[in-house]
A and B are shown apart, each in its own frame.
Chain A
Amino acid sequence: MKFIENAFDKVRPQFEKGGKWEKLWPVFEAAETFHFVKPDRTQSGAHIRDHADTKRMMSIVIVALLPCFLFGMYNVGVQHFLAIGQEASLTAKVLFGARYVMPIVIVSYAVGGIWELLFCIVRKHEVNEGFLVTGLLFPLTLPPTIPLWLVAVGVSFGVVIGKEVFGGTGMNVFNPALTARALVFFAYADKISGEGVWTKLVGDQTFVDGYSGATPLLHAAGFNTASIAEQAAHVGLEPLTRVTDANVVIPHTQAALDGMSTMYANMDFSWMSMFIGTIPGSIGEVSTLACLIGALILIATGVGSWRIMLSCALGVAAMSAALHLGAEAFFPANPDGKQVVIPGMFMLPPHYHFVMGGLMFGLVFMTTDPVSAAHTKTGKWIYGFLIGVLVVIIRVINPAFPEGMMLAILFMNAFSPLIDYFVVQGNIKRRLARVQAA
């Protein structure tokens, strides 16, 4: 590849001190180090270094994201053709998905990249690789119908406010991709939530009967007595488990789920279908299986913290089991004797929580962002567990949000320094105890 090297060597003087484009040095450096690992030598400290660098770590994360990305593109096509009631080949579905997903990814990288370069030029430091991951992560959290201008606005907010104002990669408090999504979610809620955004239609196409554009979580959030009765009846099941002595009605959510799975002629909302991911949702989060493959890659290479992933899963399981078993405790009997009906989400079994919504995607890729997560080993267990507990609380108990993963992660991001503070204090106290034990 000598000719590429020569090309860079020829142009380098223009970007070095005194050159015409001296201010654009970060651009040149980024382009050159993208192609080559330079023979820069160690100047102080250890004379040899490990081959691992941030570029390598980030590229492993990108590889881990590929299953979600590729399946997500395919699924956009699947949902499109299901929604308009047409048969289509695998190729047609993939091409359709690519046609509408690739522009989102390109805009995300381009606009975010320009902000990154701008900050690097002004601050006079090299382009940091953290953006390589954020640029792909953010589009995967968006619905396929998102307008491209909104992608640009979102990623700008995420890169600038979520990362750069704190000092750039390695200094941010919050996950930049989620900060970007949070802006879109709160400022342009109608573009990113509701029943109509999850399926890409072209021109004046409409949903056929037998297709539901709502995500499984939206359905489950709507499980009340009437819908449960309808859904349970659909599969010939009794809608209600029991009414307690205190006149509290505990719904048969499993029946509702079974009913939901076959309610729509063109949809399959069974657990297995949700696990594989041929359901409406954000581009990258639909397939739990793809997320698991990504998790495997991250854990096998050691790039993603298994502690955070496991503790988050344990938190989800614990909290949803606790709500499932202890639902009655939340709903005391009505003093005037009227029936109290527990919302269906309370009885959602833990294994459904994992396949519905963005939980798995967030668990594998967002919670494990090393900068915004807790930095200590003990801290990671606490951090992950509390995210899991929080996401279930927001999903089940909070009536305003059907999905709570983004909010739970952003909330715990704010607490990571505090968690670490206590772990570090523990280290300091142990040392003090050794001093006093003299």
Chain B
Amino acid sequence: MATFNLRRGYDIPIAGAPASEVSEAAKPQTVAICPVDFLGIKARPLAEEGQAVKIGTPLASSKDDESHVITSPASGTLKEIRRGHRRVITHLVIACDGKDTAESYARYELAQIAGLGREKVLAQVKASGLLFAFRERPFNSAARPVHTPRDIFISTFDSGPLGVDMNLVVQGREAAFQAGLEVCRALTTGQVHLGVDGKGKNLSKAFTDAKNVQIHRFSGPHPAGNVGTHIHLVAPVKKRNDVVWTTTVAGVIRLGTLFLEGRVDPSTLVAVSGSAATERKHVRTVLGAPVKTILGGKAPDGDVRYISGNVLTGAKVSVDDYLHYYDNLLTVIPEATHAEFNGWMLPGGGKDSWYRIFLGKLVPGKRFQKDTRLGGGHRAMVFTGQYEAVTPIDVLPGFLYKSILANDIEEMEGLGIYEVVEEDIALCEYICPSKTDFQKVLRAGIRLIEKEG
């Protein structure tokens, strides 16, 4: 139950925050689950194309464990098993029949969940496909059923650029949220930790008054809301087999609904943000919804980039693509199109920067339109202490980066590669004037460790 005031970090003053009003999206014609979102899992299909499926029907399973299943988020038919590079399944596309027929599971009262015991709870979570609501640290892999997590961490606020308002996500679902917390408690041998916004106003009582969990308050600039920051400050990951599970507010609500109502609830709240989006809002839709459905049929003009997730860590998607499993944010920003004459020489009144080298810094509270411009050439990394200044955890990102380039596993371990994933060092990548590719290199370092042990 601690309070943390974080000074290091940076809130990018990007324009395009989503409005608070919630609207209903149209029922989608197709939805898709992307097994590539589940890191460390090789998916093998269990269902065939053309097969009729209900919500909760297993579609595919992990190659290592057939009982670890990916289930359908909609009822209808399995339209397509789309494969990509090296025959890896990229999409499991379901054509929706709109009926929402679902598999049913055992139902319990809130008070009963705690007494069920780990095995029973894990079995139901696994069978419903909701084990994928959990990700593991180190490395942000999909949670493996053979691992018993030492703790479970949930962040209740998204401090990332143009992030979704979790208080809206949980509004009306407070009972399910508390039940979900009980499910998490049953799954771990340790504690369930809730990270709450220390400087937020009108926080949901579901967060601030949550029962049977450890509540910690974090205030400060992004990445104060990152679950990785919370883990480091409360109970850091110590080594490769010190496994901690993380999940989102939406995941917890879904777990709670599974045990209170005996069904998988695929509904979700997605924020549409970004300066290029024609309508910025929160939208109620379903897991795996198409980008077009979330946008609401009004496609933006001009050259834009659709991002499933936020501008720092999200994946580029096309307008015909689907929102990824763990994302509840669709960001739409303009692509860079024109060359700026003498751009780097001019005073830059309209430019934001973490550095104090453009006049735009002199206007406090101003929001800036950001496009996808790289803004410079790739150069060798130059240390001016900038990376540490936006990293609130005790990690030296520049040195970690270099140890990965050097393939020095001992040094990577010593410098904390078990403690960080892409979202924790994305800000370093954002502010780097040499345009260094931190996230790509970090993932390469993680892959090296996974391969070499």
Q: Are the C-beta atoms of A370 and B383 separated by less than 8 Å?
A: yes
Q: Are the C-beta atoms of A48 and B311 separated by less than 8 Å?
A: yes
Given contacts A51-B358, A170-B434, contact A45 B439 (CB under 8 A): yes
Is the CB of A202 closer than 8 A to any CB of chain B? no
Q: Find chain B residues with CB under 8 A from A60 CB.
A: 357
Q: Are the C-beta atoms of A435 and B239 separated by less than 8 Å?
A: yes
The 3 closest A-B pairs by CB, nearest first: A53-B376, A170-B380, A37-B343
Q: Are the C-beta atoms of B341 and A1 separated by less than 8 Å?
A: yes
Q: Are the C-beta atoms of B14 and A48 separated by less than 8 Å?
A: yes
Q: Find chain B residues with CB under 8 A from A51 CB.
A: 348, 351-353, 358, 375
Of B335, B384, B411, B437, which is in contact with the most chain A CB atoms at under 10 Å from its CB? Answer: B384
Is the CB of B429 closer than 8 A to any CB of chain A? yes
Nearest Cβ in chain B — how far from A371, in angstroms? 6
Q: Are the C-beta atoms of A35 and B377 separated by less than 8 Å?
A: no
Cβ proximity bits A366-390 to B, threshold 8 Å, 1 near / 0 not: 0000110001110010000000000
The listed residue (B236, B344, B430, B431) touching A55 by CB distance below 8 A is: B344
Cβ proximity bits A295-311 to B, threshold 8 Å, 1 near / 0 not: 00000111101000000
Q: Are the C-beta atoms of B373 and A40 separated by less than 8 Å?
A: yes
Is the CB of A39 closer than 8 A to any CB of chain B? yes
Q: Find chain B residues with CB under 8 A from A84 CB.
A: none
9 extra interface residue pairs, beta carbon distance < 8 Å, beyond A56-B357, A303-B384, A427-B394? A37-B376, A40-B336, A41-B336, A44-B439, A54-B382, A54-B433, A301-B357, A375-B385, A434-B238
Taking CB atoms and an 8 Å cut-off, the chain B residues in 349-366 that contact chain A are 351-358
Is the CB of A329 closer than 8 A to any CB of chain B? no
Q: Are the C-beta atoms of B374 and A49 separated by less than 8 Å?
A: yes
Complex Cα–Cα for A212 and B140 (A): 71
Q: Find chain A residues with CB under 8 A from B375 CB.
A: 37, 49-53
- Of B47-55, B202-210, B312-320, the one touching chain A: B312-320
Is the CB of A431 closer than 8 A to any CB of chain B? yes
Q: Are the C-beta atoms of A45 and B437 separated by less than 8 Å?
A: yes
Cβ proximity bits B373-397 to A, threshold 8 Å, 1 near / 0 not: 1111111111111001000001110
Q: Find chain A residues with CB under 8 A from B370 CB.
A: 48
Q: Find chain A residues with CB under 8 A from B431 CB.
A: 50, 52
Taking CB atoms and an 8 Å cut-off, the chain A residues in 330-346 that contact chain B are none
Is the CB of A171 closer than 8 A to any CB of chain B? yes
Of B377, B396, B398, which is in contact with the most chain A CB atoms at under 10 Å from its CB? Answer: B377
Q: Are the C-beta atoms of A168 and B380 separated by less than 8 Å?
A: yes
Of B339, B352, B381, B415, which is in contact with the most chain A CB atoms at under 10 Å from its CB? Answer: B339
Q: Are the C-beta atoms of A371 and B314 separated by less than 8 Å?
A: no
Q: Find chain A residues with CB under 8 A from B230 CB.
A: none
Q: List 27 A-B contacts (CB under 8 A).
A: A35-B341, A36-B343, A37-B344, A39-B336, A40-B336, A40-B374, A44-B440, A46-B312, A46-B439, A47-B372, A48-B14, A50-B352, A50-B353, A50-B375, A50-B433, A52-B431, A53-B344, A54-B376, A56-B344, A56-B376, A167-B380, A301-B357, A376-B388, A380-B385, A427-B394, A427-B396, A431-B416
Q: Are the C-beta atoms of A46 and B381 separated by less than 8 Å?
A: no
Is the CB of B451 closer than 8 A to any CB of chain A? no
Nearest Cβ in chain A — how far from B342, in angstroms? 7
Cβ proximity bits A14-49 to B, threshold 8 Å, 1 near / 0 not: 000000000000000100010111111110111111
Given contacts A169-B379, A300-B356, contact A44 B340 (CB under 8 A): no
Nearest Cβ in chain A — how far from B370, in angstroms? 4
Nearest Cβ in chain B — how far from A359, in angstroms? 23
Taking CB atoms and an 8 Å cut-off, the chain A residues in 44-93 that contact chain B are 44-57, 59-60
Cβ proximity bits A396-438 to B, threshold 8 Å, 1 near / 0 not: 0000000000000000000000000000100110111011001
Is the CB of A258 closer than 8 A to any CB of chain B? no
Complex Cα–Cα for A56 and B383 (A): 16
Complex Cα–Cα for A1 and B345 (A): 15
Is the CB of B426 closer than 8 A to any CB of chain A? yes
Is the CB of A328 closer than 8 A to any CB of chain B? no
Q: Find chain B residues with CB under 8 A from A40 CB.
A: 336, 373-374
Q: Are the C-beta atoms of A46 and B376 separated by less than 8 Å?
A: no
Closest B residue by C-beta to A425: B414
Complex Cα–Cα for A59 and B343 (A): 12
Nearest Cβ in chain A — how far from B447, in angstroms? 15
Q: Find chain A residues with CB under 8 A from B380 CB.
A: 128, 167-171
What's the tally of chain B residues with a CB closer than 8 Å to chain A?
74
Q: Are the C-beta atoms of A431 and B414 separated by less than 8 Å?
A: yes
Closest B residue by C-beta to A38: B339
Q: Are the C-beta atoms of B356 and A302 separated by less than 8 Å?
A: yes
Closest A residue by C-beta to B384: A370
Is the CB of A4 closer than 8 A to any CB of chain B? yes
Closest B residue by C-beta to A33: B377
Complex Cα–Cα for A167 and B414 (A): 27
Given contacts A36-B343, A46-B311, A57-B433, contact A424 B382 (CB under 8 A): no
The listed residue (A59, A375, A432) touching B344 by CB distance below 8 A is: A59
Complex Cα–Cα for A301 and B355 (A): 7
Q: Are the C-beta atoms of B426 and A45 separated by less than 8 Å?
A: yes
The interface residues of chain A, by DSSP majority, are classed as loop
Nearest Cβ in chain B — how far from A3, in angstroms? 11
Is the CB of A268 closer than 8 A to any CB of chain B? no
Is the CB of A190 closer than 8 A to any CB of chain B? no
Closest B residue by C-beta to A167: B380
Nearest Cβ in chain A — how far from B146, in angstroms? 21
Is the CB of B37 closer than 8 A to any CB of chain A? no
Q: Are the C-beta atoms of A427 and B339 separated by less than 8 Å?
A: no
Of A50, A371, A430, A432, which is in contact with the most chain B CB atoms at under 10 Å from its CB? Answer: A50
The listed residue (B12, B238, B305, B377) touching A53 by CB distance below 8 A is: B377
Cβ proximity bits B229-252 to A, threshold 8 Å, 1 near / 0 not: 000000010110000000000000
Closest B residue by C-beta to A37: B343
Is the CB of B292 closer than 8 A to any CB of chain A? no
Complex Cα–Cα for A359 and B365 (A): 41
Of A51, A59, A301, A424, which is in contact with the most chain B CB atoms at under 10 Å from its CB? Answer: A51
Q: Are the C-beta atoms of A50 and B430 separated by less than 8 Å?
A: yes
Q: Find chain A residues with CB under 8 A from B399 CB.
A: 375, 424, 427
Q: Find chain A residues with CB under 8 A from B313 CB.
A: 46
Closest A residue by C-beta to B371: A48
Is the CB of A126 closer than 8 A to any CB of chain B? yes
Taking CB atoms and an 8 Å cut-off, the chain B residues in 117-155 that contact chain A are none
Is the CB of A238 closer than 8 A to any CB of chain B? no
Q: Find chain A residues with CB under 8 A from B371 CB.
A: 48
Complex Cα–Cα for A129 and B336 (A): 23
Q: Are the C-beta atoms of A52 and B433 separated by less than 8 Å?
A: yes
Is the CB of A209 closer than 8 A to any CB of chain B? no
Complex Cα–Cα for A380 and B380 (A): 20
Nearest Cβ in chain A — how far from B328, in angstroms? 17
Complex Cα–Cα for A59 and B161 (A): 29
Complex Cα–Cα for A5 and B338 (A): 10
Q: Are the C-beta atoms of A41 and B335 separated by less than 8 Å?
A: yes
Cβ proximity bits B408-428 to A, threshold 8 Å, 1 near / 0 not: 000100111000001000100
Complex Cα–Cα for A47 and B348 (A): 21
Q: Are the C-beta atoms of B340 and A371 separated by less than 8 Å?
A: no
Nearest Cβ in chain A — how far from B105, in angstroms? 36
Complex Cα–Cα for A52 and B383 (A): 14
Given contacts A45-B437, A48-B430, contact A39 B316 (CB under 8 A): no
Nearest Cβ in chain A — how far from B409, in angstroms? 13
Complex Cα–Cα for A404 and B398 (A): 32
Is the CB of B157 closer than 8 A to any CB of chain A? no
